[in-house]
A and B are shown apart, each in its own frame.
Chain A
Amino acid sequence: MTVGPAESRLAERKPALEAFLTAAAGAEAVEVVDARPLTDGAIQENWLLDLQVSGGAFAGPLEAVLRTDAASAVAVSRSRAEEFAVLSVVHRAGVTVPEPLWLCADASVLGRPFYVMRRIAGTAAPHRLMKEPELGGDRDALAGRLGMELARIHAIVPPRAELAFLGDPPDDPAQAAIARYRGYLDALGGGFLALEWGLRWCELHAPPPQGPVLLHQDFRTGNYMVDRQGLTGILDWEFSDWGDPMSDLGWFCAACWRYAHPELEAGGIAPRGPFYHGYEAVSGRRIDPAAVAFWEIMAHLRWAVIALQQGERTLSGGEESLELALTGRLYPPGLEAEILRQTAPERWRTTP
């Protein structure tokens, strides 16, 4: 069993984990042959599991991923049980995701709830997608495929009994988000003038709400896996919620998620055309470019607020993480510059 230097939690709990997996898989026995930690996320912790299943429907070797809360988890995203429920719903709806296998809500097994999904091949690393043109297959086709996948996610609409924990969808997702971000900025101490400028512009210029539909809410390059043929799966469902479908499109296209290729406006991988076309073909919805442009400004605002919150975790939160500190320090100024660029005085309908 390969175990990271700081992480022996899984090794200590191997018998309990194997007993859970045996029961969950309806097997005679499940052996954890190997367990390797993936790079720690700020919020989640992922382990690669090599399992050997004896008996039952899953008999044979099984490559899986175990996902649980990180030691420093904060209550900003969905619980593992909720994430598992969302993953199960979208998997059944035909969205390309890792197949969800088993949820363990019993904290006594690993110390925290976790779930197991089937491992998928490929990489999600943006720097590799930017540098290796053969990765992900034909890029226009990949963007079109991502548009189709997003449309399938957005075909899921409330109410859904399995997703009751999402609560009621907001009547006006844009105004609700603006109010939420203002609250976050107040909690951070206030005085963020450029962000307040952008929020006020958004308050005045929001397009009419669409939806509500199921949103991924972190649908961007870096959160889907590809191999040399194309898409292998969409990851990171921890921010899913009901809302305006155009917000996911704006998040995907926002300049802050284009990495080394700002000229490729669909996630740094392709022009918008193929992405929009794939989305429209499956959803039957017409994309209003102005609505997407609005949600791109909202994307920069949202990312700036999240970055500041991550930085704050190393201040009042007392966390000793250089990565989080740099997130709070490095990203907001560039995001503000982009927000200001898109909200110049001549773009205010009510310029005095």
Chain B
Amino acid sequence: MTKRREQDPGCGGEPGGARLLELARRELLEDLLPQLQGEGRYRARLVANAMKIAARELDGRTAGRPAGTHRLRGLAAAALPGGVDLAALGEAELAAALCAALRSGRLDGQRELYDLLITLTDKRRETIG
């Protein structure tokens, strides 16, 4: 009980979005899906899949793109030409600057960036897995 509270901060008897999605998904898969056939079953599975991903995001157990931003900032400091005010860059601008650096060859085969990309990709895979 305590554990679920932590994952889903529903408010005293009012279940939160993640819990609602979890229950809706269970009802869809366990009660409704067996009544469907062919194309209907396929579409119901798509719906269940979307609900699973949305519930995980709401749950906050796994982080998406924002994770690792500080490490990206560190890499950018090393890779980008001096004079760029990194502190002023938002996450999207930072990624864009690093993409430009990649295209221009300033990050060719760079181990630190590679390891970070593996970590970021794995995190996104956890959310959808």
Q: Which residues of A contact B (CB under 8 A)?
A: 39, 182, 185, 189-194, 196-197, 199-200, 204, 322-323, 325-326, 329-330, 332-334, 336-337, 340, 344-345, 348, 350-352
Least CB distance from A127 to B in Å reads 10
Task: Jot down 23 A-B pairs with beta carbons below 8 A, ordered by A.
Answer: A39-B39, A190-B96, A191-B96, A191-B99, A193-B98, A196-B103, A197-B102, A199-B103, A200-B103, A200-B107, A200-B108, A322-B43, A322-B50, A326-B46, A329-B53, A329-B128, A333-B125, A340-B118, A340-B121, A344-B114, A345-B110, A348-B108, A352-B109
Count A/B pairs, Cβ under 8 Å: 81
Indicate whether B117 reaches chain A with its CB closer than 8 angstroms. Answer: yes
Least CB distance from A6 to B in Å reads 13
Closest B residue to A192 by beta carbon equals B99
Q: Could you mark each residue 41-59 of chain B with 1 if its beta carbon is under 8 Å from any beta carbon of chain A, else 0? A: 0010011011001000000
Instruction: Provide the bound-state CA to CA distance between A350 and B110, in Å.
Output: 10
Q: Specify which chain B residues have a CB less than 8 angstroms from the CB of A197 in the assembled complex.
A: 102, 107, 113-114, 117
Instruction: Provide the bound-state CA to CA distance between A350 and B107, in Å.
Output: 11
Closest B residue to A321 by beta carbon equals B46
Indicate whether B122 reaches chain A with its CB closer than 8 angstroms. Answer: yes
Q: Which residues of B contact A (CB under 8 A)?
A: 39, 43, 46-47, 49-50, 53, 92, 95-96, 98-99, 102-103, 105, 107-111, 113-114, 117-118, 120-122, 124-125, 128
Query: Which one of A39, A189, A322, A334 lies within 8 Å of B46 (CB-CB)?
Result: A322
Instruction: Provide the bound-state CA to CA distance between A344 and B115, in Å.
Output: 9
Least CB distance from A280 to B in Å reads 33
Instruction: Provide the bound-state CA to CA distance between A329 and B120, in Å.
Output: 15
Instruction: Provide the bound-state CA to CA distance between A330 and B49, in Å.
Output: 9
CB atoms of A323 and B46 under 8 A apart: yes
Q: Specify which chain A residues have a CB less than 8 angstroms from the CB of B92 in the assembled complex.
A: 189-191
Instruction: Provide the bound-state CA to CA distance between A325 and B46, in Å.
Output: 10
Closest A residue to B94 by beta carbon equals A191
Q: Specify which chain A residues have a CB less than 8 angstroms from the CB of B39 in the assembled complex.
A: 39
